């Protein structure tokens, strides 16, 4: 590390300009703490909220903007309930968005159209039973399990039934980007409840042509001036040297000496040692980082010469006869309320299929991978005949999202066997080094709101410490010895659990029990 005088000095170094980083900077700014630097490896604000130009608008001949990362506002506001801050911001910046109607769906298998929406409904029924079981695990501090085991105990056993497999993939993997086997049961259910029962069960698809990150840029402009030198884009953090006195940030082309630092790196970045820590992170921190997971969620967009599928249906679900999760969920963007008349449809794959797609290096290989299921019969326009075949369909262009080094995955998912205490170790500061970002949120991990809440909390905490001159007296709860249980009184703000996961804000059919 260069000698003292050669580094830029600041009170707070904010590492990353995604939702968490920008929200943390805003919290500092709101507390009249303008002495911060935001360090970001990309050349834009938004992190995992990023878009690209794709295809061509048949009328204007201009390309469309499509989202490669976050795409939906998940959970809006329910009557009498609090509002998702991302929804508040989406409205503030007038983001164009449309309700994703998951009931607007046609189901297919290898023979073509086959109405198995009844299987989707059956899954929902079993899920309701599983929710209650998870509630007992929380209130009685019972042993947690995998989401697969929780579903099975509740009576859901798909085995080789590929329609059941497709139904559970649609309900679970499409949300978490991981399988029920890889997902923790209790915190999988609370994660769902806290977003969809607290805010609302709605998902709104953002198709704004400025890009979804317009709201993050808009927020940054409330406290950053034009060409503000506190925003350091194209600057990669290589190492962090931290103590109770401060943090030295070494970047690819210099260094920053800060009183405090906030790392908003994804858990994937931390897991892959993309940034080194001096001294090495303590064991209690490393174990939490190593256990939390990142799922990979890849969208592949296609633009065809015409819309040969039902333009009034939003979703098409395909149950492959052999492989679970094989190009299952197709979403049309050409219909009313989206990119109307665009002839664009996209398919989502996660984990293994996403890696398979990304590892198909050449365009030709990619075409081959997608051809077997992505070609839709152009001749059969009747909705009952819409099927995946090896002929027909004109592929104009396609793109995909391969997770780059910036995140090492798409978003986090709560693994099997991780307790709230262990998750708190993921959040906890070490000396003057603090952590924020979606994975640090026990209640909203994986969602934009998780990044927002964590960024705000850490920003406010540090502002308070600077104001009170309390140094690092604001140590967050941590557990150097883990006993593997979570007692009811531990569901508290100190462990990142400010809201009861039993509140349903009157969502129909859900018991409105408030326990914690």
Ligand X SMILES: Cc1cc2nc3c(=O)[nH]c(=O)nc-3n(C[C@H](O)[C@H](O)[C@H](O)COP(=O)(O)OP(=O)(O)OC[C@H]3O[C@@H](n4cnc5c(N)ncnc54)[C@H](O)[C@@H]3O)c2cc1C
Query: Which spans of this chain sit near ligand X (rule: CB under 6 A)?
Result: 15-21, 39-42, 47-49, 69-72, 74, 236-237, 264-266, 269, 274-275, 297, 401, 406-407, 410-411, 437-438, 447-448, 450-451
The residue to which tokens 């929406």 are assigned? 117
CA atoms in the 13 A half-sphere facing the CB of 202? 17
Q: Which is nearer to ligand X, 43 or 59 (CB)?
A: 43
Q: Report the nearest approach of ligand X to the CB of residue 148 (Å).
A: 23
Supply the DSSP symbol for 437: S
Cα–Cα distance, 437 to 425 (Å, whole number): 14
Cα–Cα distance, 486 to 492 (Å, whole number): 11
CA distances, 99 to each of 84, 103, 154, 249, 514 (Å): 15, 11, 30, 43, 29
Q: Which is nearer to ligand X, 90 or 503 (CB)?
A: 90
Burial of 216 (0-12, 13-18, 19+ CB in 10 A): buried
- Residues contacting residue 273 through CB under 8 Å, at least 6 positions apart: none
Token code pair at residue 482: 């883990």
Q: Which is nearer to ligand X, 66 or 151 (CB)?
A: 66
Q: Report the nearest approach of ligand X to the CB of residue 418 (Å).
A: 18
Q: Which is nearer to ligand X, 86 or 154 (CB)?
A: 86
The residue to which tokens 């051809």 are assigned? 371
Task: Centre a 10 Å sphere on the Cβ of residue 222 and count the other Cβ atoms it contains.
Answer: 10
Q: Report the nearest approach of ligand X to the CB of residue 402 (Å).
A: 10
Triad 127, 131, 135: Cα angle to 5°? 170
Token code pair at residue 256: 């920053």
Q: Which is nearer to ligand X, 277 or 297 (CB)?
A: 297
Q: Which is nearer to ligand X, 115 or 253 (CB)?
A: 253
Q: Which is nearer to ligand X, 375 or 456 (CB)?
A: 456
Cα–Cα distance, 18 to 263 (Å, whole number): 11
Q: Which is nearer to ligand X, 331 or 343 (CB)?
A: 331
Q: Report the nearest approach of ligand X to the CB of residue 264 (Å).
A: 5
Q: Which is nearer to ligand X, 42 or 52 (CB)?
A: 42
The residue to which tokens 């009557």 are assigned? 79
Token code pair at residue 122: 């059956």
Cα–Cα distance, 64 to 339 (Å, whole number): 8
Q: What is the 3-state secondary structure (H, E, C) of 196-250?
A: HCCCCCCEEEECCCCCCCHHHHHHHCCCCCCCCCCEECCCCEEEEEECCCCEEEE
Q: Which is nearer to ligand X, 388 or 452 (CB)?
A: 452
φ, ψ at 113 (rounded to 5°):
-60, 130
Q: Report the nearest approach of ligand X to the CB of residue 46 (Å).
A: 7
Task: Centre a 10 Å sphere on the Cβ of residue 141 and count the other Cβ atoms it contains.
Answer: 14
Token code pair at residue 156: 């859901």
Cα–Cα distance, 417 to 184 (Å, whole number): 7
Cα–Cα distance, 479 to 287 (Å, whole number): 11
Q: Which is nearer to ligand X, 157 or 405 (CB)?
A: 405
Q: Report the nearest approach of ligand X to the CB of residue 15 (Å).
A: 6
Length, in residues, of the chain: 516
């Amino acid at each position: 590390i260069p000698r003292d005088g050669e580094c830029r000095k600041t009170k707070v170094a904010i590492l990353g300009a995604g939702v968490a980083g920008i929200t943390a900077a805003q919290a500092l700014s709101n507390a009249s703490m303008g002495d911060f630097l935001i360090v970001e490896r990309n050349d834009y604000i938004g992190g995992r909220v990023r878009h690209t130009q794709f295809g061509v608008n048949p009328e204007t001949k201009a390309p469309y903007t499509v989202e490669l990362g976050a795409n939906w506002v998940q959970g809006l506001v329910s009557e009498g309930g609090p509002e998702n801050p991302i929804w508040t911001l989406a409205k503030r910046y007038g983001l164009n968005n449309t309700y994703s109607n998951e009931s607007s769906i046609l189901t297919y298998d290898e023979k073509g159209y086959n109405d198995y929406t009844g299987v989707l409904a059956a899954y929902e029924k079993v899920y309701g039973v599983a929710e209650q079981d998870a509630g007992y695990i929380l209130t009685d501090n019972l042993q947690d399990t995998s989401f697969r085991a929780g579903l099975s105990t509740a009576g859901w056993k798909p085995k080789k039934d590929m329609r059941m497999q497709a139904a559970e993939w649609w309900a679970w993997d499409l949300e978490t980007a991981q399988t029920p086997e890889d997902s923790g049961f209790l915190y999988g259910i609370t994660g769902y409840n806290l977003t969809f029962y607290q805010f609302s069960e709605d998902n709104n698809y953002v198709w704004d042509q400025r890009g979804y990150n317009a709201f993050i840029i808009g927020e940054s402009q409330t406290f950053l001036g034009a060409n503000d030198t506190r925003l350091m884009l194209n600057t990669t953090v290589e190492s962090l040297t931290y103590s109770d006195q401060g943090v030295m940030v070494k970047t690819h082309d210099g260094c920053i000496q800060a009183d405090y630092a906030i790392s908003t790196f994804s858990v994937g970045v931390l897991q892959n040692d993309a940034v080194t820590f001096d001294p090495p992170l303590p064991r209690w921190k490393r174990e939490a980082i190593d256990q939390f997971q990142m799922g990979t969620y890849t969208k592949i967009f296609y633009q065809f010469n015409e819309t040969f599928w039902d333009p009034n249906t939003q979703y098409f679900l395909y149950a492959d006869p052999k492989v679970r999760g094989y190009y299952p969920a197709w979403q049309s963007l050409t219909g009313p309320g989206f990119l109307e008349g665009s002839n664009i449809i996209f398919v989502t794959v996660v984990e293994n299929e996403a890696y398979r797609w990304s590892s198909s290096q050449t365009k030709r290989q990619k075409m081959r991978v997608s051809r077997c299921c992505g070609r839709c019969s152009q001749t059969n326009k009747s909705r009952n005949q819409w099927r995946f075949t090896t002929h027909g369909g004109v592929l104009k262009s396609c793109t995909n999202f391969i997770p780059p080094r910036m995140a090492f995955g798409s978003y986090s998912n709560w693994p099997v066997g991780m307790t709230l205490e262990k998750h708190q170790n993921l959040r906890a500061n070490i000396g003057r080094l603090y952590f924020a970002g979606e994975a640090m949120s026990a209640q909203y991990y994986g969602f934009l709101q998780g990044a927002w809440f964590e960024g705000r909390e850490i920003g406010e905490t540090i502002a308070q410490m600077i104001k009170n001159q309390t140094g690092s007296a604001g140590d967050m709860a941590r557990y150097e010895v883990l006993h593997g249980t979570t007692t009811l009184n531990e569901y508290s703000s100190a462990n990142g659990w400010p809201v009861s996961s039993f509140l349903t804000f009157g969502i129909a059919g859900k018991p409105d029990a408030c326990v914690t």
